[in-house]
Amino acid sequence: MTTPPGRDPAPVTTDSGIPVAPVYTSADVAGGAQALEERLGLPGQPPFTRGPYASMYRGQLWTMRQFAGFGSPEETNARFRFLLGQGQTALSVAFDLPTQLGYDSDHDMAGGEVGRVGVAIDTADDMAGLFAGLPLDKLSVNFTINATAPVILALFLVAAERQGVRPDQLTGTLQNDILKEFLARKAYVFPPAPSMRLTADVVEYASGVLPRFNPISVTGYHAREAGCTAVQELGLTMASAVAYCAELTGRGLAFDAFAPRLSFHFATTLDLFEEVAKLRAARRLWYRIATGRFGASDPASARLRFFSGNAGTTMTAQQPLNNVIRSTIQCLGAVLGGAQSIHVMGYDEAFELPSEEAVTLSLRTQQIIALETGVTRTADPLAGSFFVEHLTDEIEAGAREVLREIDGLGGAVKALEQGVPQRWITEAAYSAQQRLASGESPKVGVNVHVMRGDFGEAELFEPDPGIEERQIERTRRHRAARDATACAAALRGLERDTAAGRNVMPALVGAARAGATVGEMSEQFRRAFGEFREPSPW
Amino acid sequence: MRRPRLVLAKPGLDGHDRGIKVIAMALRDAGAEVVYLGLRVTPAQIAAAAVAEDADAVGISVLSGAHLPIAERVLTAMRAAGASAPLAVGGTIPARDAEALRRLGVAEVFGVGTALPDAVRGMLRLARPAAA
């Protein structure tokens, strides 16, 4: 690190606070060329720094997967068809909050929230309607669902069954990462220990019957959105992954039996080089954890694959078209970092759900980067950059330090129960907001280059106001029409298996098939496990 | 003169609590006493806390888009409980809904893009109209 003497006393750093020198040379690459070679390997080879696959985007482009869902299953089905018609290559389902938290649409707690931030799903019929005419043996589907992930997976398996699709034909990802709900996203229901059991039940079940499906996506994205740095994001993600793997191997499962199907999810924000370095460091760090801590022998167990979405917190309500530029840079960062799957946020998402126009532009952003820029022609194009390699090393070292701190608190679950990483995130968010207020962090249209009356909200997306009533009516009709005796028996089976500590998935599939609702199935878990209350944030 | 007392809460099911926690910290740094009730708080719990804490103002944050029905329920619960503190609503609130919230009886609306110092000044002004 060389800083010219007598100039620029304010330290220049990345967004994570890593010092940045005016220029980097080969002297900044630790250990010299030979050591660097060992830290990099080749794409598709350990330690996978340069990418999970040898041919990267020459072999296969990343999956373009715009997150979508609102209103009823029919409305979301129409949005899915629209996106596929525009060249999207897979689906990603957003659920409304009642579904995420295990309430039926007619529950008192659901009032005002039905179909609002995602699609309302109460029953297997709703799930079948969501995918009506969309072949589940061909389309990969991502589900952003966590506390109620086992319930949603059961409904999905029943919907596939009705299409004549076998579980072993299904591809896609269930987010199923409950730890980041306690950490940042906050859509938890049950306390951490039984939540870990449900997560592990899903992964264990999937390792038997869903060989092509990712039963978990270990996620740093939400902690980042809630305020933490890139270094903390990576460290916390790895701490969660370690906790899940320990839970699963603790059940007697072999690491190599489930680890190849673990997937990851990171944010890509605006500090372009730091973000690319973080994504490269993520692969190397996971390789070291998988082989070092868990003794992976299958290379696929140590090969990190990830989905990336750009950060909503980088978006502004002021001069919203500027968000198109921000999204483009973040999408490019994800590509240069070697993402397997990408979501680009709508430029209007600072206000509301993206309009059809905004979501199309998001998809076009991905398509233009993929088809017109040539960045896909070679794997890991920034490898060997003195700066990027230096940052990759620094981020890996910083993330290991975070992991060590979490280990010192007794692991991710214990740390979360004490509220420690939650407080790191809150403090980082406060300090970021103060830097924004003081102008220390420039934000175009917000604290520099401000224009009067520049809140562009003319074309707001309007959800259908009648959705809540219609969904409630549909769910009530469903309850009245089903075979009540069979449904009650299936729910008792779920209650027994939950109490006995058996894997809940077979009983959930049985209950879903018998017409049990999301609320009824979740209620079995609420009774058995109770609900979590967050410790004080201060 | 006692410090302004503020009750903050996240009603509804939305878990986006970055904003309200940042506001709570900034209000404390500005000298206010802040009681943060946390997530998924019911309208009745908010009203009860406003009375029990003798709040000078109440602030709720909603980022799910459900701000209109939720604010209406919170106001109803506050009136029923005899809580007279003014209610402020923050979140992803478009301009057209800010007007509708005010018509319902919401005293202050902090929509997307509100600068932190403006939100702090706004809450303190609500809590202590004479001093502001």
User: For each of chain B's 132 residues, which pLDDT tens digit applies?
Assistant: 789 999 999 999 999 999 999 999 999 999 999 999 999 999 999 999 999 999 999 999 999 999 999 999 999 999 999 999 999 999 999 888 999 999 999 999 999 889 999 999 999 999 987 554
Mean pLDDT of A220-230: 96
In this predicted structure, what is the pLDDT of residue A459?
55
A-B contacts at Cβ under 8 angstroms: 93
SS3 content of chain B, % helix, strand, coil (to 5): 45, 20, 35
CATH number of the domain within which A229 lies? 3.20.20.240
B95 closest CB neighbour out of A98, A457, A533: A457
Single-letter amino acid, residue A296: A
Alpha-carbon span A324 to A315, nearest angstrom:
9
Single-letter amino acid, residue A283: R
A418: in domain? yes
A517: in domain? no
Taking the C-alpha atoms of A459, A461, A464 and A465 in order, what is their torsion angle to the nearest 10 degrees? -80
Q: Cα dist. B101→A157, B24, B104 in Å? A: 43, 22, 5
**What residues of chain A have any CB closer than 8 angstroms to a CB in chain B?**
97-98, 100-101, 103, 109-113, 116-117, 181, 185-187, 225-227, 313, 316-318, 350-353, 426, 429-430, 433-434, 436-437, 446, 455, 457, 460, 463, 533-534, 537
pLDDT in tens, A349-405: 877 778 889 999 999 999 999 999 999 999 999 999 999 999 999 999 999 999 999
B55: in domain? yes
A113 closest CB neighbour out of B13, B95, B112: B13
Closest Cα in chain B, distance from residue A212 (Å): 32
SS3 A95: strand
Domain count, chain A: 1
B113: in domain? yes
Confirm if A220 and A7 have CB atoms less than 8 A apart: no
B129: in domain? no
Mean pLDDT of A467-482: 97
Instruction: Give me the domain span that covers residue B48.
Output: 5-123
How many Cβ atoms are within 10 Å of A27's Cβ, its own excluded? 10
Confirm if A18 and A398 have CB atoms less than 8 A apart: yes
Asked if B118 reaches chain A (Cβ–Cβ under 8 Å), the answer is no
In this predicted structure, what is the pLDDT of residue A3?
47
Closest Cα in chain A, distance from residue B65 (Å): 7
Confirm if A279 and A266 have CB atoms less than 8 A apart: yes
In this predicted structure, what is the pLDDT of residue B132?
44
Single-letter amino acid, residue A435: R
Alpha-carbon span A92 to A319, nearest angstrom:
28
Judge residue A531's burial from the number of C-beta atoms within 10 Å of its C-beta, 0-12 exposed, 13-18 middle, 19 or more buried. middle
Closest Cα in chain B, distance from residue A391 (Å): 28
CB contacts of B17 in chain A (<8 Å) are 186, 226, 537
Q: Which residue has the tokens 């944010």?
A: A267
pLDDT in tens, A268-311: 999 999 999 999 999 999 999 999 999 999 999 999 999 999 99
CB contact under 8 Å between B64 and A533, yes or no, is no
Which two structure tokens, joined as six digits, stand for A121? 């799903």
In this predicted structure, what is the pLDDT of residue A6?
53
Domain count, chain B: 1
A156: in domain? yes
* Best B8, B10, B17 residue to mutate vs chain A (most A CBs within 10 Å): B17
A528 compared with A8, residue with greater pLDDT: A528
pLDDT in tens, A165-216: 999 999 999 999 999 999 999 999 999 999 999 999 999 999 989 999 999 9
B63: in domain? yes
Alpha-carbon span B131 to A296, nearest angstrom:
65
A375: in domain? yes
- Alpha helices (H) in A188-321, listed in sequence order: 192-209, 221-226, 230-250, 255-258, 272-292
Alpha-carbon span A381 to A486, nearest angstrom:
58
Residue A7: pLDDT band (50, 70, 90) is low
Alpha-carbon span A313 to B112, nearest angstrom:
11
What's this model's pTM, rounded to 2 decimal places? 0.94
CATH number of the domain within which B10 lies? 3.40.50.280
Alpha-carbon span B88 to B110, nearest angstrom:
8
Could you tell me the end-to-end alpha-carbon distance of chain B, in angstroms, rounded to an integer? 14
Confirm if B41 and B92 have CB atoms less than 8 A apart: no
CB contacts of B121 in chain A (<8 Å) are none
Which two structure tokens, joined as six digits, stand for A105? 């649409």
pLDDT of A4 strictly over 90: no
* Best B8, B14, B20, B21 residue to mutate vs chain A (most A CBs within 10 Å): B21
CB contacts of A185 in chain B (<8 Å) are 15
pLDDT of A465 strictly over 70: yes
B131: in domain? no
Q: Convert A44-70 into a string of H (helix), E (strand) and C (coil).
A: CCCCCCCCCCCCHHHHCCCEECCEECC
Average pLDDT, chain A: 94
Q: ipTM value of the model? A: 0.92
pLDDT in tens, A38-74: 999 999 999 999 999 999 999 999 999 989 999 999 9
How many Cβ atoms are within 10 Å of A310's Cβ, its own excluded? 29
Confirm if A121 and A155 have CB atoms less than 8 A apart: yes
Residue A460: pLDDT band (50, 70, 90) is low
CB contact under 8 Å between A318 and B113, yes or no, is yes
Closest Cα in chain B, distance from residue A435 (Å): 10
How many Cβ atoms are within 10 Å of A85's Cβ, its own excluded? 8
Which helix or strand (DSSP H or E) is residue A299 part of?
A: none
Instruction: Give me the domain span that covers residue A428.
Output: 40-438
CB contact under 8 Å between A187 and B15, yes or no, is yes
CB contact under 8 Å between A434 and B116, yes or no, is yes
Which residues lie below 8 Å from residue A404, measured CB to CB, with a gap of 6+? none
In a 13 Å sphere around the CA of A225, the CA atoms on its Cβ side amount to 23
Strand A141-144 relative to strand A172-174, pairing: parallel
DSSP string, B54-97: T-SEEEEEE-SS-HHHHHHHHHHHHHHHT--S-EEEEES--HHH
* Best B29, B33, B36, B40 residue to mutate vs chain A (most A CBs within 10 Å): B40
CB contact under 8 Å between B14 and A185, yes or no, is no
Strand A91-94 relative to strand A213-214, pairing: unpaired
Q: Cα dist. A195→A190, A497, A499, B78, B123 in Å? A: 6, 15, 14, 35, 38
Residue A537: pLDDT band (50, 70, 90) is confident
